[in-house]
Structure 1
């Protein structure tokens, strides 16, 4: 079985893509962590993007082409923190880093009405946790959030863990259990800050949740949408047939391109003023 370093290298080699023309990238820091900033225009829109990778692998650069696809609909920049990974830094290091990043954006003068959040898989879970923790701390909410294949139940209790076992092209339940065990390091997987499908989502901004019908984590997305709706959050759930976990990463897929287009327009519309002068 490959070690942690080899897993990270394999993940990066599998998913990293070139950035599109017209997007400038630079290294920065955010919330006390290294971060990647992408800029398309000089506007004031800000996208906070939290990368996925099961809390163990991944980086802002691996998902930068997805971040850039969303940024195409905004007038400004995106920033993605390189939050600490398990097992070297288990829960709650990653959510602490993500909340610090969100707080620093606000402290630096970013208007929350011009701020949106997005993330994939573990990063989508961290996005929800960041919003609930920010709400509890009395911080203003962003304009909207997009969640791709959110991994929001670390207890693996969703029915799709069984019904999609053997259908999911990437994972078996044991694969997810291995990742989550390293992240939790003995912490309670049912705690709302670890598994936000069990959290109170009251007061969160409008959410767009996208998932593929072929993924083990399908029920995470479905139950999160249901929880958000029950908590009076405006939520849109899209389940795309025959698509795998975070299918938006595939830059050759028509389904991925269409999903990213919908997600970008969702964010732009909720930033106010629609997409005028954004595209």
Structure 2
């Protein structure tokens, strides 16, 4: 990532003010991300999936067998199927595989494990339809995607083909060293920001529960994982520790760390060269796993 690209990307994001209500945070997030153009080749079709609202993300020519179940980011308290479509659409376009973006319930109104229950119900419906499923998600959605794998295994269900995790939040107990060491370097989050979201999500429940913080789950038997993360984020250790844990559990895992990149840098496709390159690697990963 060139210095100019890094500065351009960092200039588009900033640490939000602490103390805002969930409604205020949602409004600000939607203002930035809920109306981003997806391309003339993309159609969004509302549907219900697992009892929750969702959007089919239909890209012209993306008609291969299989489906990408996309879980949006937002600290489990903001974001929507529409904001998730911003990342689901380019992945669908690059892989030729249609996607569906889920509106799972949000905290603090619906705390843990509501989001996990919704993701599992959506996955079960796709399975019942005979779909080959790849799960993908960013930030909290990346952690939720991993929790979904653990929940599906616990329920005795066939597991997804693979999972793509962009800057996943896998530890809501905030025990990673980068939560502090990267606080000044991260243009978007600090420990205080993450704690606010974690408190809304888990409340008085155990933040190390394996479905809240799937980093602490037994990962044995999970499908192949692709993890992509930037070095300029407090969640760096959530990815590094996950890759080690997966490898030690004999899970096929690939880890991309992009130097200087901020949280979910894949949003900057067309602006930052590494974002496009990361998307290409994710597309190759999904294509290969679906073929297997």
Report the TM range for the smaller structure's normalisation. over 0.9
Residue 235 of structure 2 is aligned to residue 217 of structure 1: yes
2: CA distance, partners of 1:145 / 1:130: 10
Which residue is 2:272 aligned to? 253
2: CA distance, partners of 1:142 / 1:154: 24
Q: TM-score, normalised by structure 1?
A: 0.93
Q: 1:69·1:264 contact (CA, 8 Å) conserved in 2?
A: no
Shift of residue 43 of structure 1? 3.3
Which residue is 1:57 aligned to? 78
Which residue is 2:130 aligned to? 109
| RMSD value, Cα | 1.3
Which residue is 2:208 aligned to? 190
The count of residues paired between Structure 1 and Structure 2 equals: 270
Which residue is 1:73 aligned to? 94
Structure 1, gaps ≥5 residues long: 274-279
1: CA distance, partners of 2:95 / 2:176: 34
Q: 1:55·1:86 contact (CA, 8 Å) conserved in 2?
A: yes
2:49 to 19, 30, 44: 30
- Moved >4 Å (runs of 4+): none
Which residue is 1:18 aligned to? 37
1: CA distance, partners of 2:20 / 2:145: 29
Shift of residue 155 of structure 1? 1.0
2: CA distance, partners of 1:3 / 1:124: 23
Which residue is 1:128 aligned to? 146
Shift of residue 59 of structure 1? 0.8
SS at match of 1:62: helix
2: CA distance, partners of 1:212 / 1:89: 30
1: CA distance, partners of 2:84 / 2:92: 12
2: CA distance, partners of 1:169 / 1:47: 29
Q: TM-score, normalised by structure 2?
A: 0.89
Residue 104 of structure 2 is aligned to residue 83 of structure 1: yes
